[in-house]
Amino acid sequence: MLSFIRKRAVASLISLVGLIVMVFFLSRLTGDPAALFLPVEASAEMKEQFREIHGLNDPLLVQFTRYVGDVATGDFGESLRKARPALDVVIEAFMWTLWLAVITMTLVTAAAIVVGSLAAFRAGGFFDRLSSVISLIGASVPDFWLAIVAIVVFAVNLAWLPTSGTGSLLHWILPICVLFVRPFGIIVQVVRGSMIGALSSAYVKTARAKGVRSGPIIFVHALRNAMLPVITVIGDQAASLLNGAVIVETIFGFPGVGKLMIDSILQRDFNVVLAAILVTALAIFLMNLLIDLAYALLDPRIRH
């Protein structure tokens, strides 16, 4: 098991190093950072002073070496907009996104496994057809459109829920519900397909012949063997929430890392943008490592 974890950690570390290289050089391809950070009316002397202060006159290789060294020590520079360490700003926002993703994926996983398993148990029945229609619609609806409709209906017309912020539990309902729909629809379909195969296997037929009740057959015997593809999709959807909640957070004014990235791009605070990209990537790599460990626990053959 330790060898398995070590191999996966090394693979993730290599990917993270590759991302650091890519982020650095892509940021340099955007043009002169002085022209991006400083106002349009800044003089040539101000731009030259900015380059000198931030070491932009040094050779590109020297800048990259210094950048990697700073990142290795957790120094991502200072936010020009907030005059605070960029990493502190990103972590503060990332915790909001993390809580939003954890709550949403917990609800999605529990609901999708129950609905998908019951649909597979009565494949072709009314509940199966109904859940398939609902899940397909949910997987197809764009998040931004659903967010706008939710605001118009529940915040503007009915005045039941607030449109933005995080002041109370009511502020969390709309973002969670909007982010819930797409992964729920996708995971239900995967659970259903995987469970249909598991429920038709020989060991399930044997359990039924022995008189085992439907509940243990579905959620004990079949579900464990059907979980490998489900875990893959759950991991993908969780990564999408961490990496793709930008639009939803912006629409609802939710102070997560997605909204922070949009604001920082518009305000040319690229130290924060780079820190946000790397922190989000590190979180996704760690999550992928946990998924690999879950594979190994469910199917010991994967360890070898």
In tens, the pLDDT along 54-99 reads 777 778 788 888 878 887 887 887 887 777 888 888 898 888 888 8
Q: Where does the pLDDT of residue 111 fall: very low under 50, low under 70, confident under 90, or very high at 90 and above?
A: very high
Q: Are residues 59 and 157 in the same domain?
A: no
Q: Are residues 60 and 94 in the same domain?
A: no
Q: Identify the CATH number of the domain in which residue 226 sits.
A: 1.10.3720.10
Q: Are residues 54 and 173 in the same domain?
A: no
183 lies in some domain: yes
- How many alpha carbons lie under 13 Å from residue 182 in its C-beta half-sphere? 19
- Domain range for residue 148? 90-303
Average pLDDT of the residues in 127-151: 88
This prediction's pTM: 0.76
State how many domains the chain has.
2
Q: Are residues 157 and 223 in the same domain?
A: yes
Q: Are residues 198 and 115 in the same domain?
A: yes
Nearest residue to 277 (alpha-carbon basis) of 8, 18, 15, 20:
20
User: Cβ distance 258 to 246 under 8 Å?
Assistant: yes
